Amino acid sequence: MAGTTNVSGAVEASSYTTVFGSLANYTKGGVELINDDPRHYAFSNVYEVANMSKPWEQVAVGKNMEYVLEVVRAEGTSGWRSASHDQFAVCMDGEVEVEFYSISNKVDAAVEGSVALEGEPDGVRMGRVVLGFGHQGLLPAGAAYRMTAANASVVLLQTIAGADTKFRWSEICQTA
């Protein structure tokens, strides 16, 4: 816990102000380096990445082995997608509705990342969730899902990198 030490040696909590960003109001962050090269670090702002992206593009902003955090600019209605693994979606700005169907034509377990499905799902409607700012939803393995956002919104996906994952490190990372 950050803070200051008072005369009796007890640590007093510092006062912090939390600032939430949005597509309409964000500040590009940065990293403060100590005797190092900024090219050794990846730093991007999810709102800036969404602002530069086309609707429904999946742009990686973080990577740990095969796992990625993807920023998605949610605007309008996406196509139907599915994955052989669970994914998690966090609404970072706006509101996004996610529809779910169980499907018989599951994505091959060897395929990583989400994949676009042709046409309408062939299964049974499972329901829907509406994600508002800060809400998280599970995109279950083997289910079909599509997202709808009436206004430009931002979704952060935790997933596995796949064929549709866009790696644009040179465009989104601090380099100097």
> What domains can you pick out in the chain, each with its CATH number?
3-172 (2.60.120.10)
CB environment 19-44: b (16+ within 10 A), e (fewer): eebebeebeeeeeeeeeeeeeeeeeb
Tens-digit pLDDT profile for residues 30-76: 656 566 665 555 555 888 899 999 999 999 998 888 899 999 999 99
pLDDT in tens, 91-121: 999 999 999 999 988 888 899 999 999 999 9
**Cα dihedral across residues 74, 76, 81, 86: positive or negative:** positive
What is the pLDDT confidence band of residue 23, given thresholds at 50, 70 and 90?
Answer: confident
**Residue 81 zone, left/alpha/beta (φ > 0; ψ -120 to 50; rest):** beta
Tell me the three state secondary structure of residue 172. helix
At 45, list the tokens: 């702002």
Average pLDDT over residues 11-37: 68
How much is the pTM? 0.77
**Alpha carbons 2 and 11: distance in angstroms, whole number:** 8
For residue 27, pLDDT over 70 is answered with yes
Alpha-carbon distance of 138 to 55, in angstroms, equals 21
